[in-house]
Chain A
Amino acid sequence: MTTKDVKSVTGITVRLAGDSGDGMQLLGTQLTNTSALAGNDVATFPDFPAEIRAPRGTRAGVSGFQVQFAKEEIFTPGDTLDALVVMNPAALVTNIGDLRKGGILIANDDGFTDKDFKLAKVDANPLEATVINDSYRLFRVNMTELTRKAVSEHGLSPKVADRCKNFFAMGLVYWLFGRSLDPTLRFIEAKFGKKPEVASANEAALRAGWAYGETTEAFGESYQVEAAELEPGTYRNIMGNQALALGLVAASKLSNKELFYGTYPITPASDILHELTKHKNFGVRTFQAEDEIAAVCATIGAAFGGTMAVTASSGPGIALKAEAMGLGMMLELPMVVVNVQRGGPSTGLPTKTEQSDLLQSMFGRNGESPLPIIAPRSPADCFDMAIEAWRIAVECMVPVMLLSDGYIANGSEPWKLPEMAELPEIVVSHPEGADSDEPFLPYLRDENLSRPWAIPGTEGLMHRVGGLEKQHETGNVSYDPANHQFMVQTRANKVAKIAERIPEQDVVGETSGDLLVVSWGGTYGACLTAVRRCQEAGHRVSHAHIRYLNPLPRNIGDLLKSFDKVLVPELNMGQLRMLLRSEFLVDCIGFNKVQGKPFSVSELIEAIESHLPSAVPA
């Protein structure tokens, strides 16, 4: 425990920024886990360049990790920063704009040399600037030098020794915010245990950072955030992609099906592959294909064989998968297609978030080719929605699009662990074999308009599927005009009927009022927080966050019409808004941002308020 004054606060937003390679993501992850273990509610936002190692010290190479930890329930990683840790001038100039006035600025003074100024394209040392010193509580710490001293006994080369400075920074941050060192010490042991000299050096650096905070005169006080009042239960901290992968494994167990995952590496979806491939003892088979098309096609092949089949990618890969997805829809085979959206179009902003593939999911295939689309709203929600995707796919015999995004995928939050035994089973049935001469009808439909999932190996059910239009019931190739119209209509009806079996749209707030905020996907937390603040300020604002995007919940039209205005904030140019307007003829208003960054709560509040009756027109 610290001997200095401890100030109690309700929440802290801190960002750690340095060169990609400085270990900022590791630092952030450790701080997050430690805070979660301390019982805080946490939300994170990692932000890193697309280049593996952008030129050192340049603005392009800045890697950042933001975390908010709080004693109250939070839904975003925070807008403005209470504290910013920077390892070099480039990190300072690119991040300082987000630090609140009076906030804590900790700089690695050793990273501020003439060479670093040149790389960051700044004329003079920004730490000397009056505006910096006047606006923030600046702490200049010789982290590199202090780290070298701390690890000098461990016999490391200067280069390796310098690499420990992120642990020094971590130790200092832990002291400042009253975090326990224990989880990170355990992490060091697990991660570097095979290299004892590196493990002990990192531990020494971590402890040195903590001791620096405790002993130096500069820091007069530290801060304490008490545990949040979360629902009782067992929790862990989880990232979106990880939750999604675990959800897929759970769905496979719940349906008593082995899991086949066909994919091709792409940011930000690859971590799903990395996670799944660890779980072969659950019957998980991962296939790293030669390209996106092979990945989705192998998935369809596996689905034909009766396996739970999943493919995942990001927008550019989904574009390549489009033709095969059309086939999957035509074959009426169940599978899950995950799109972890990123900034588009084309290669776009690979490491930045966006939600601009909704229309691609709706319409990005030739012909009339409707697919169900659902979207998780937060990292932990990825678990539930992965299960839901497979449930719909099986029930409907259709590929289901699961739209995640980079913000959810890399972000993390505390996850209340479900009791697996309490999750409902996913019932899968295959027609049994017959040795009669009765012809098998592979396109005979049930009450959901689904056809039977007859799988190879079953006697007497031999049939052929394919991308040519099929005759109703028999599945024979058919060019009959009326049959084509009937089949197109039937496939559309099949997807539309899902609306009968999904929950009605819920609303935070009253079911009528001045303004309804409608959101989907990863903007959930920011929109919810903004709406709650507006409600607290007395405004008649409500929030509907849509997780089922196609078909939409059955009550949504009435809901939209119950408000004077509907505001649809999206990290795209208005894709959900376009769908809502065309479907319900409601004049939804857009609030759109495509900067590769999530919404801040404050900009959403401003947008909401500008459409409220009391607002003075600009």
Chain B
Amino acid sequence: MALPVLKAADFASDQDVRWCPGCGDYSILAQMKKVLPELGVPREKTVFISGIGCSSRFPYYMNTYGMHSIHGRAPTFATGLKATRPDLMVWVITGDGDALSIGGNHFIHVLRRNVDLNIVLFNNRIYGLTKGQYSPTTNEGQVTKSTPMGSIDHPLSPLSVALAAEATFVARSLDAHVKHLGMVLKRAAEHKGTSLVEVYQNCNVFNDGAMAYAQEKKQRADNVVELEHGKPLVFGKDNEKGIRLMGNHLQIVERSEVPDDDLLIHDEKDPNPSIQMMLARMRYPTMPEPIGVLRDVEGVATYNDQINDQVKLARETRGEGDLQKLISAGDTWVVK
């Protein structure tokens, strides 16, 4: 019997979506619903787990299993679930405040453990749900409700943090670049191990246009470089610019002046994350920002496989546990 073919609409729950009109979250939700049927995983085998924040209402809108949990901790719930139920496809939905502020610790640890799950981090560089305070990714100097004289915190890059934690899959996309977003989400789902997808997501109420340089089609060509494995890094309206490695630095060059052989070829499979880290550190306005898959390294053991393999091995070598034997272990004596 052929499996029923699911459509995007089959993944929609019966709940009204309640994000602000114009919110970038709608686009991510739409792309997720579009991508899921392509993965061939049944709805009942799919679980969305979120923390707290606007983005974290996401599970309520999906007709799958879901858990809206507590602030910053979604990766830990997902770890417990995946460790015991490796048969499920688990998604973690989080935001920049949720994942990087209150959840910073768990963010690092889920990545270094390489639990086989997919994290989608909605980054709008602001606290939306609590109405406009600065977040760990807010630009320095930005005036927000809690930084009237400008933020003095140095912003955190989720991609850099992920690479530092030796994450096996690291990617970035844009809510407004729907095709690209769909591609990246699919790639993340197909990766075995923890995948992190940072999505630039516009908060049109509290931080409108914060990433317009990347989001707006007109500006995008000059400010964003789309990474493709095995391809040189080129960008600009007519792909007239490229990036090359000069010593320890990445440098923008005019392709009319430099042969293409000199350009940096993107290698997402390189287990050494050094150059991927250099890419992650390219920041507007001095450099174009990379989107696409920075890193996709396969073959690293996952936490869920290893925890279950140990149980399997213990059973194979010692046999299924016998409770009566277990409690009777050691020195016993009989009272008659």
Q: Which residues of A contact B (CB under 8 A)?
A: 33, 36-37, 39, 183, 186, 227, 230-237, 246, 249-250, 253, 258, 260, 262, 279-285, 287, 289-291, 293-295, 297-307, 309, 323-324, 327, 331, 383, 417-421, 433, 439, 456-468, 476-477
Contact = CB atoms under 8 A, between A and B. Distances in A.
A324 B74 CA distance: 11
A466 B331 contact: no
B314 interface: yes
B335 A231 contact: yes
Given A235-B334, A301-B79, A280 B314 contact: yes
Given A235-B335, A279-B321, A298-B80, A290 B105 contact: yes
Contacts of B69: 297, 300, 327, 466-467
Interface string B77-109: 111111111011000000000000000011011
A154 to B, nearest CB: 26
B49 interface: yes
B320 interface: yes
Contact of A462 (B43, B82, B320): B43
B50 to A, nearest CB: 8
A42 B323 CA distance: 25
A281 B318 contact: yes
B130 interface: no
B301 interface: no
B68 interface: yes
B296 to A, nearest CB: 25
B249 interface: no
A230 B323 contact: no
Nearest to A423: B323
B76 A420 contact: no
B334 A462 contact: no
- Chain B: number of interface residues, binned into ranges: 35 or more
A476 B76 contact: no
Nearest to B65: A456
8 contacts: A293-B106, A297-B76, A297-B80, A307-B84, A420-B323, A456-B85, A457-B85, A477-B60
A343 to B, nearest CB: 27
Given A246-B327, A294-B73, A281 B321 contact: yes
Given A302-B80, A327-B69, A281 B327 contact: no
A290 B328 contact: no
B219 interface: no
Contacts of A309: 80
Contacts, number: 207
Interface in B52-82: 59-60, 62-70, 73, 76-82
A335 B313 CA distance: 26
Contacts of A39: 333, 335
Tell me which of B84, B88, B109, B323 has the highest count of chain A C-beta atoms within 10 A of its own C-beta: B84
A476 B15 contact: yes
Nearest to A294: B76
B332 interface: yes
B67 A466 contact: yes
Given A235-B333, A331-B67, A464-B13, 5 more contacts: A236-B330, A250-B327, A281-B319, A300-B69, A464-B66
Contact of A258 (B84, B88, B332): B84
A283 B330 CA distance: 21
Given A231-B335, A464-B59, A464-B66, A260 B84 contact: yes
Contacts of B66: 463-466
Interface string B307-324: 110110111011111011
Given A456-B47, A464-B13, A465-B66, A301 B77 contact: yes
A466 to B, nearest CB: 3
Given A262-B80, A297-B80, A285 B311 contact: yes
Nearest to A331: B67
A232 B44 contact: no
B105 A281 contact: no
Given A230-B335, A464-B65, A465-B67, A302 B83 contact: yes
Contacts of B49: 301
Tell me which of B66, B82, B310, B327 has the highest count of chain A C-beta atoms within 10 A of its own C-beta: B327
B45 to A, nearest CB: 6
Given A236-B331, A262-B80, A309-B80, A466 B45 contact: no
A299 B80 contact: yes
A468 B52 CA distance: 10
B53 to A, nearest CB: 13
Given A457-B88, A465-B68, A37 B331 contact: yes
Nearest to B317: A281
B51 to A, nearest CB: 10
